Structure 1
Amino acid sequence: MSLFDKNMAALEISYPKVYEKINELLADGYECTGVSTEAAKNGEPVLIYEKDGKSYRLNSRYNPKAEAKKWLEQFKFDNLAMVIQLFGIGNATFLRELVDTINTETGIIAYEPSLDIFMHVIANYDITDIIENKRIQLIIDGLNETYFIVALSGNVEWLNLYCQVYCKHPHFEQLFEEQHETYMHIIRDNNDQAVMNRNTILKLGPLSIENELVLLKDLMKTNNVCDFIGKIPEDIPAIIVSAGPSLDKNYELLREAKGKSIIICVDRALNKLLSNGIIPDFTITLDARALLSNYKNDRSNDIPLMIDISGNPTIYEMNRSRKFLYNNDGFLKAIYKQLGKDYYNLTAGGCVATAAFSACVTMEMKTIIFIGQDLAFEGNKTHTDSEESEEFNAASLIEVDGVNGGKVMTRYDMYSYLQWFESAITNMGGAVRCIDATEGGALIRGTEVMTFREAIDECCQKEFDCTQLIHDMPYSFEGMDIENFKEYMQFCSKQLKEFKTKAGEGAKKAKTLIHQGMDHRGPNQKGVKLIKDIGKIYETLEENVLYEMLDIYAAKDSLEELNDVYIMRGQEDSEKEVYEKTIKVYEAFVKACDTLEPKFKTLCDALN
């Protein structure tokens, strides 16, 4: 078997889409150019790359492995929960040295900016060990570069944001300047999103959990958006109505689309539609503190409601129509599993419009049309004329491509949603047709741009009675014994007490560790045992069905401490500081349990 066939066999198993893409390129006549290999003085292979008539050695001409060892000395790998970013894979000499140096739990996201280099390498080197290594995620420009955003968001969050290590293969930044600029831009965007997620948890985390416990009392009389799977014809489009300023241009055309589409109106645009006599099929709300003023028109309470499980319970209770849950968290997932229902994961994306998009994808809608989705300023306005204009700091604005050509100004939060849409659309690989009929604002790459009139004429041609579909749809848990739900909630109440006991035990052991388990050299024999015990306690907490809920609830009191626990500064006295912060984390868990205990009791009482 040739080296190429051997590497391709490994790719077929570990990276099937990359494998398919390579075969497509070869079938289209692709030929690798500008890359070669020669031997170093010690016989090891040296990769040669040609650019602008010049040849560049990407490894030492004398001893490539020794060069890689020396290169690694500039980096520090002493944090917990590290994520290593490597720009440039080359012939994998540097990557292998990296793998051999770091601990076995550290993940590596390795980005190769040159398709030609990668194709040359899989034809001339055995890199099956790299391909098959589960710790490494390979991103190859021209093959699966769109997955880079997914890899980042799945591995880098606020907790380990400052535990990233950025490594660059020698010469790659200079040879691939444009790709490196894009690469760093994506990393910065993901870092900013992680900070936004952290701030959201700090601001709304406890409230979102409290809201969830209120909404759960009516779980047996709700539906999930996944209940629509297979029930809506593929030629019926979804129309997501957002509250951007361009909505004023075309909202009247919704009258023609009614009954020939599924119209989902975000909460902020609802008053605009209702005041003009347009009734959407659904309204959707996301935030734990969603404004009640969005539902000031009483007719809104007769429209089916899509709501996050942690959404504003007052809006939920005001609504007289059917309720459809989405964005199920880990706790609700466990409930669904316990009650024997399928669970579909949905990523809300940070704003109500992205949540609507995710709901449509979960419902398996094949065509999604956007209107009012500006994601940019029109003058000094970010929302339709029925809304107040928002103040903004000119220094915080970002210039992006406009859907009608030229440039438009946006704000960072809107820009992050734009990035989210583009990533989500790309990752669907064309499975869903996305049409931007906003007629203004920022260009959303991956969408088809047309007027709303054109979208209606092309896509809204068949009658469909959404109201009847909802009327005939049973509740998600209809016919199921509510006693199972009651028993599970009682079980969760016991889990809460066990969590509190274990967290208290962890705090106590951490205190003992500081006072009795350490000397000037660090942990003594007793301390080593206590450290293991503390680690086992945390593992037990993570296995508790309420861990995710309590982790979010405790974040306000423990977020900074958790972050510091993961960042080991390498100072002799830092260990004691870390264990002191560990105490605060466990105490924050105990405090969260104390707060939620009566709320669980209220929920259980309401079910009896």
Structure 2
Amino acid sequence: MSVEKKNFDALKLKYPQLFDKLSAMKPSGRYQVINAGNGKHLNLIDHQRKVFYYDKFSPYSPVEKDIIGRQIKIPNLAIFLGCGLFYTAKAYLDNYINKTASGESRLYIIEKDIDSFRTVIQFVDISALILHDGIIFYVDTDPHSIMIDLSARFKQGGIKAFIKAMNFIEDLNSFTAYKDYYINCIRAVKEAAKDTLIFFGNSPLDSLIGIENTFLNIMEIIDNPGVKDLKGVFKGKPGIVVSTGPSLEKNIHLLKGLENKAVICSPDASLQVMRNHGFKPHMVTSLERGPATAKLFDYITPEDTDDVYFAATPVIHQNTYSKWHGKKIIVYRSFATFEWLEIEKGTLDIGPSAGNMAFELLDYLGCNPIILIGQDLAFGKDGNTHATGSRFGNKEDRPHFKDTLMVEGNYQPQIQTMRIWENFRRYFVADISKTSATVINATEGGAKIQGTQIMTFQEAIDKYIDDDVNALDIISGSLNQPDEKEKREYLEKTLEKVNTATDFTKDVQQKFYSAVLMCNEYFDVIWKNFQETGDYDGKRTKEILDSTSDIMAVCNSQDFYHILMHYVQSYYIKSVMDIYGVKANAKDGRSEQYEVLQVAAEFFETMHGLMSKILPMFEQLQRVLKGRLESGD
């Protein structure tokens, strides 16, 4: 089998779209692969720029020397900027991944020039690289698409731990030929990393708010049906997301007559605006944990929520649930808390806003097409932030509204938005890239969401909305209300879990306390003595590092994952990122030990404190569950 065929077979298997693109083209002749002077390696010539990619007599050795000379301490995550003849990737694999890397590793190879790639794969067997589970290729891919894809990939698995120890490896001639492109790729990768850091958060206490709310909402979870009952029930039926952007005023009137011709879903903030215009959605989404969300329903009456389903995640504040007079559907986010509960209700991969959630919900229901209105994600005329009638006004003024930037608009080259809206927009782009549904942006203003078709709401209605869908009948007929036997089984099983979790948490808390004492010993005795006398007790330092590392490894146990990781995941991940970042960048061994123990000291002290907050939450949940079981209600 020829080298070219081996490569094409591998591409067809893993990258079918790239395979199709490459199959339809032939090399232009700009690039030529030749034998080098030493006869052992090939070289690549760019005839247009009149350059050899590598040393004429020894193509590979200088590349390998450069890679070794970088002395990379944490090689697990690397971004390759340009392919050439794949010498940088080979040297990196041989000298780092295959020798020193431990744990999960990922190499992302970016190549701008599909012509050079097409030429090279005729002569260089890269089939093993293509099929390698830990290697991802981006060939002729725009930086924005790379950013969206990496944002999703970084959040999955263990590779996110190495975000702060990321390595950028340039193929010199590739980088030189397309410098602006690769600089934009670097920015895109860093944006994806930034999104990941934001996603997992920096405040350990933030994580507990949703957990506490979930425990306080345990009876809502047990008593109500879940979104799992609705999966695919509206396959091929149109869905409409009604959001509260300023442009909603242009076309909200067109909802008249569509009440039974599409599945209408709105974020919580849109309900009041819809009511003011005489409309009701079929479902309202909600996911914010703070008590302020309850104010969105201050003026909402029981009549307003009659035949409207509240599809909320149980991390919302209990006051938000209590303000809702209508029916409820439980929707889980992909949090370990809900996995631990083992009360199956259905899980959606939800973005950061209730608008993102509304889109994901309609997609889960099988709606096609999905039409967005009022999804501006940008400031409107005169700086308006919301449609008239919004609970917080059409020009809301909070500090984060001042953190602005310019992005591409649907109907104008540039439009002003803010960082939070831009984050929401990126999630829409990522979600749309994964759905098989046609997505119509009928906002008639606002920021551009790549992957959508832009048209007016009237055009979307004329093209896609016609037949009745009987939305309320299908929703009510599909939901399975838990009976009393199911509810009691959930109560008993959850109480048993909480009892086990309480004992385990007390044991872990004690381990973390002993780690705090060891870290204190290092700073108060070993480091202090070093500062005063110059003597450094390396032996005891290593013992402390080994012991604290063993204690931190408790976080990798199955018991910890099932019982506690859902409370501390964001802070744990951040701390692991920080430790790998220190190890990658410390100037010498002693500095590395000092900085690692700084991170560890903060980690153990914080985790000990978190355990002190979690234990009362378990005790409160025990009381609720026992009370419900004893009352028999």
The amino acid across from 1:113 in the alignment is K
- Give the aligned partner of residue 453 of structure 2: 448
Please name the residue that 2:386 is paired with. Answer: 383
Indicate conservation of the 8 Å contact 2:554/2:560, yes or no: no
| Partner residue in 1 for 2:171 | 169
- Partner of residue 43, structure 1: 39
Residue identity matched to 1:253: L
- Pair 1:270 & 2:275 matched: no
Identify the match of residue 564 of structure 1 among 551, 555, 578. 578
**Equivalent position to 1:323, from 324, 328, 336:** 328
Q: Does the 8 Å CA contact 1:514/1:579 hold for their aligned counterparts?
A: no
Q: Any gaps of 5 or more consecutive residues in structure 1?
A: none
- Code of the aligned partner of 1:223: P
How far does residue 142 in structure 1 lie from its aligned partner after superposition?
5.2
**How many angstroms does 1:38 deviate by?**
1.2
Give the match for residue 538 of structure 2.
521
Q: Secondary structure at the match of 1:298?
A: coil
Once the two structures are overlaid, the 10-residue window that deviates more, 313-322 or 90-99, is 313-322
> 1:144-168: CA deviations, max 9, x gaps?
9946532344226986443222222
Q: Does structure 2 conserve the Cα–Cα contact (< 8 Å) formed by 1:46 and 1:58?
A: no
Q: Decide which of 87, 104, 110 is 1:93's aligned counterpart.
A: 87
2:309 corresponds in structure 1 to: 304
1:252/1:121 CA distance change after superposition, 3 Å:
same
Structure 2 counterpart of 1:534, which letter? Answer: I
In structure 2, the residue matched to 1:538 is 555
Q: Which residue identity is paired with 1:237? A: P
> Structure 2: any 5+ residue segments left out of the alignment?
527-535
Question: Offset of 1:12 from its aligned partner?
Answer: 4.6
Matches within 5 A, 1:113-512: 113-141=112-140, 146=145, 149-155=148-154, 160-199=162-201, 204-234=206-236, 236-289=237-290, 290-299=292-301, 300-302=304-306, 303-335=308-340, 338=342, 341=344, 343-344=346-347, 346-378=348-380, 379-386=382-389, 387-391=393-397, 396-428=403-435, 431-475=436-480, 477-478=482-483, 480=486, 482-509=488-515, 511-512=517-518
In structure 2, the CA distance between the partners of 1:401 and 1:147, relative to structure 1 (3 Å rule), is closer
SS of match in other structure, 2:33: strand
- Tell me the TM-score normalised to structure 1 length: 0.88
Distance 1:477 1:178, change over 3 A: farther
| SS, match of residue 257 in structure 2 | helix
Shift of 1:477: 4.7
CA distance in 1, matches of 2:73, 2:517: 24
**Aligned to 1:129, what secondary structure does the other structure show?**
helix
Separation of aligned partners in 2, 1:267 and 1:603: 28
Identity of aligned pairs, percent? 18
The range that moved more, 389-398 or 440-449, is 389-398
CA contact (8 A) 1:84 1:108 kept: yes
Cα 1:565–1:469 change in 2 (3 A) is same
SS of 1:89's equivalent in the other structure is coil
CA distance in 1, matches of 2:569, 2:468: 44
Secondary structure, counterpart of 1:111 in structure 2: strand
1:416 corresponds to which letter in structure 2? N
Distance in 2 (alpha carbons) for counterparts of 1:191 and 1:396:
20
Q: Are the structure 2 counterparts of residues 198 and 76 from structure 1 closer, same or farther at C-alpha, using a change threshold of 3 Å?
A: farther
SS of the aligned residue for 1:469 comes to helix
Deviation at 1:24, TM superposition (A): 5.6
Aligned AA (2:507): T
Secondary structure, counterpart of 1:376 in structure 2: coil
The answer for the alignment partner of 2:624 in structure 1 is: 606
Amino acid at match of 2:113: S
Match of 2:566 among 532, 543, 549: 549
Cα distance in 2, alignment partners of residues 360 and 599 from structure 1: 34
Q: CA deviation at 1:259?
A: 0.8
Using a 3 Å threshold, how does the CA distance of structure 1 residues 54 and 543 change in structure 2: closer, same or farther?
A: same
Once residues 2 and 365 of structure 1 are traced to their aligned partners in structure 2, the CA distance between those partners, rounded to angstroms, is: 46
Three-state SS of the structure 2 residue aligned to 1:150 is helix
Q: Deviations for 1:493-512, whole angstroms, at most 9, x for unmatched residues?
A: 41243134134324415644
Q: Give the 3 Å change call, closer, same or farther, for CA 250–200 of structure 1 in structure 2.
A: farther
How far is 1:606 from its partner? 2.4
Q: Tell me by how many angstroms 1:258 deviates.
A: 1.1
Of 19, 27, 40, the residue aligned with 1:22 is 19
Pick closer, same or farther for the CA change 1:110–1:382 going to 2, 3 Å: same
Q: TM-score, normalised by structure 2?
A: 0.84
RMSD value, Cα: 3.2
